[in-house]
Chains A and B, each alone.
Chain A
Amino acid sequence: MAEIRLRNIAKRFGDYQALHSIDLTIADREFMVLLGASGCGKTTLLRIIAGLESPSEGEVWIGDKRVDDLPPRERGISMVFQNYAIFPHLTVFDNIGFGLKMHRLPQKTIRERVHRTAKMMHIEQLLDRYSGQISGGQRQRVAVARALAMEPDVILMDEPLSNLDALLRLEMRAELKGVLAQSDTTAIYVTHDQIEAMSLADRISVMHRGKIVQSDSPVHLYRYPADRFVAGFIGNPPMNILPATPIGDGRWQVANREFEGPRVDAKNIEFAIRPEDMHLADEGIEGRVQVVEPLGPHLLLTCDVAGCPFRATVDNDHAVNPGDIRYFAPQPDRIRWFDPLTDLALA
């Protein structure tokens, strides 16, 4: 049983506030992904959970124990470091078996587990090598194997696949998901790759400037971004955002069209729609096509809508040329509204 609860965690490095009041509960056996741009505090949060950094404020609970004052080795965690941290004076075998040896497991168990995890990570043939004799990607896999071999309650992974080539990454991603699904391990996985996050996570926490802005299942996060940052960050190309002015009675003027929107008393709000949630129609939002990019099954159109950039992906059987005027009909249930003052989504 290893539920992780973070209560009001803050972290300051001198004057710099790296984390602001983080509240997060990660369920037992959940696969949680921390997603955010470089420097947003992902590693710092992970290190606080691991006990390598102490929070300036707040509490860390693992299972039913408060672990703030416990050293890393008593927290039941293992960690994959962003820069691997493979012991250079030990062979790959001894690296993977290091923690097991520390926990005084019998030789036979150690050997079995090392071979099993090495096989899983496709590094069996490297067991006798030293870290200086293997590639960066192989080192990364050794680091993951070393953490997995511990069969910990909680595994913390800091961008563990960042150095693999695209193909191997895809493969390891599936492998990792499979392995962790079969185990009783709670996983926290840091990445700045949203595709990776989507494909692995039970739940994604999007971080921005030291705050968690939204924690949700991948689909929910994609469909219902809680604020403008998430809307722009998740999805490629990002969500389109257009200004909306009130007509009254919950109706809003967006470019040349009127839409049913939230009943709020505001001068301006913002209308948002994903590029793939529209189709070409006889009437709709009017846009002048500027760029046409064929992307296999789709065409990605970059248009100008009332002076704002606007993207739409449409079926590739349409003949669209730059300079055309086209009309885009949004799927009504996929429209989102944001308050430009708070950046938050309006219900």
Chain B
Amino acid sequence: MSGDMRLASRYLYGATIALLTIWVLVPLGLLLINTLSSPEAVNAFPKRFWPEFDLGSLRFFAGFDGMIDALFNSIWVAGLTMVLSILIGAPAGYALSRFDFPGKETFRLLVLLTRAFPLPLLALPMAIAFIRLGIDDTIFGLGLVHTMLALPFAVLITFSLFSGIPIELEEAAWTLGCTRFGAFCRVVLPLILPGITASAIFAFVISWNEVFAAAVLTIENRTLTAFLLQNLDTSPLHLKFAGGFILVVPALVFIFAVRKYLFAMWGIANR
């Protein structure tokens, strides 16, 4: 009786896993197959189930007017987001984990609440403010917005990282001759560097994938997502596939690399 139940639940478990895997892998597989095939093959019918390993689509993608610029814009904005969110987020995370100050709990809540405002709501006032400040349609301006999006995660991830490092380690370093800053560099930094890297990469991915703010706040200096969106109805199928592929791959690789830290942020122990 209970053996049957266990068998049934095993099957259910397996089936669910299979379904989820298919759910994720099929679109990715289609992207891969079509990106690595010639434009002709992509647009032909019936569809292929195996890539031709033809770089035609990618070459077309690279040659598309403005595409390479958009790609570099994306990299610049994401890079800026990454640097800014760590430079601002990590000290905030450190302060949250190490110091007691009035309003600490409120601050922690507020950090999360920044994500409670839908971006479309903020986009118009922000666009106006940016125009006034003269940073509209710039990489810097967009980087600021993306930093705002990535910052809560950066703060919370680094907060949990710092909290995982006993204060006694720093204190021991102080008694052994380190300044506060010295102890941070020699003891805390080496211990959290992998986590900081993960959090930086996460910020990069958030910016890399973001499309709404990018589309609203830039015109000339579009990022890849905004550029692809703009040309969505005019561009041929193989361009869409190649663009999708170029967008997905870095995000996928990065997230895979730092998955351990994202689990940590969500409170899932994996040891």
A93 CB, min distance to chain B CBs, angstroms? 15
- Checking B166, B180, B190 against A85 with a beta-carbon cut-off of 8 angstroms, the contacting residue is B166
A136 CB, min distance to chain B CBs, angstroms? 15
A56 CB, min distance to chain B CBs, angstroms? 15
A106 CB, min distance to chain B CBs, angstroms? 16
A78-B175 contact given A88-B191, A89-B190, A89-B191, CB 8 Å threshold: yes
A-chain residues with CB within 8 Å of residue B166 when the two chains form the complex = 83, 85
Residue A48, interface by CB 8 Å:
no
A-chain residues with CB within 8 Å of residue B174 when the two chains form the complex = 51-52, 71-73
- Checking A71, A81, A103 against B172 with a beta-carbon cut-off of 8 angstroms, the contacting residue is A81
Contact present for B187 and A72 (CB under 8 Å): no
B-chain residues with CB within 8 Å of residue A89 when the two chains form the complex = 187, 190-191
C-alpha spacing A13/B190, complex, angstroms: 32
B163 CB, min distance to chain A CBs, angstroms? 15
B-chain residues with CB within 8 Å of residue A51 when the two chains form the complex = 174-175
A72 CB, min distance to chain B CBs, angstroms? 4
B-chain residues with CB within 8 Å of residue A52 when the two chains form the complex = 171, 174-175
Identity of the chain A residue whose Cβ is nearest the Cβ of B170 in the assembled complex: A85
Identity of the chain B residue whose Cβ is nearest the Cβ of A50 in the assembled complex: B175
Interface residue ranges of A67-88 to B (CB < 8 Å): 71-73, 77-79, 81, 83, 85, 87-88
B-chain residues with CB within 8 Å of residue A98 when the two chains form the complex = 173, 176
Contact present for A73 and B190 (CB under 8 Å): no
Secondary structure at chain B's binding surface: helix, strand, loop or mixed? helix
Residue A145, interface by CB 8 Å:
no
Contact present for A79 and B169 (CB under 8 Å): no
C-alpha spacing A250/B236, complex, angstroms: 113
The winner among A50, A72, A83, A99 for most chain B CB atoms within 10 A is A72
C-alpha spacing A337/B101, complex, angstroms: 51
Residue B179, interface by CB 8 Å:
yes
Interface residue ranges of B226-266 to A (CB < 8 Å): none
Contact present for B179 and A85 (CB under 8 Å): no
Residue B65, interface by CB 8 Å:
no
A102-B177 contact given A85-B168, A85-B172, A87-B172, CB 8 Å threshold: yes
Residue A146, interface by CB 8 Å:
yes
Residue B196, interface by CB 8 Å:
no
C-alpha spacing A83/B182, complex, angstroms: 22
Contact present for B179 and A150 (CB under 8 Å): no
Contact present for B178 and A73 (CB under 8 Å): yes
A102-B176 contact given A52-B171, A81-B171, A85-B169, CB 8 Å threshold: yes
C-alpha spacing A78/B174, complex, angstroms: 9
A144 CB, min distance to chain B CBs, angstroms? 12
Contact present for A73 and B172 (CB under 8 Å): no
A140 CB, min distance to chain B CBs, angstroms? 13
B-chain residues with CB within 8 Å of residue A81 when the two chains form the complex = 168, 171-172
A187 CB, min distance to chain B CBs, angstroms? 15
A72-B179 contact given A83-B166, A87-B187, CB 8 Å threshold: no
Contact present for B176 and A78 (CB under 8 Å): yes
A-chain residues with CB within 8 Å of residue B191 when the two chains form the complex = 88-89
A129-154 vs B, CB cutoff 8 Å, 1 = contact: the mask equals: 00000000000000000100010000
C-alpha spacing A83/B166, complex, angstroms: 10
B202 CB, min distance to chain A CBs, angstroms? 23
Contact present for A77 and B175 (CB under 8 Å): yes
- Checking B176, B179, B180, B190 against A99 with a beta-carbon cut-off of 8 angstroms, the contacting residue is B176
Identity of the chain A residue whose Cβ is nearest the Cβ of B176 in the assembled complex: A99
Instruction: Report which B residues bind A (CB closer than 8 A).
Output: 166, 168-169, 171-180, 182, 187, 190-191
- Report, nearest first, the 5 A-B pairs whose CB atoms are least far apart: A102-B177, A99-B176, A85-B168, A85-B172, A72-B174
* 29 residue pairs A–B, Cβ–Cβ below 8 Å: A71-B179, A72-B171, A72-B174, A72-B175, A73-B175, A73-B177, A73-B178, A77-B175, A79-B171, A81-B171, A83-B168, A85-B168, A85-B171, A85-B172, A87-B169, A87-B172, A87-B173, A88-B191, A89-B187, A89-B190, A89-B191, A99-B175, A99-B176, A99-B177, A102-B176, A102-B177, A102-B182, A103-B177, A146-B172
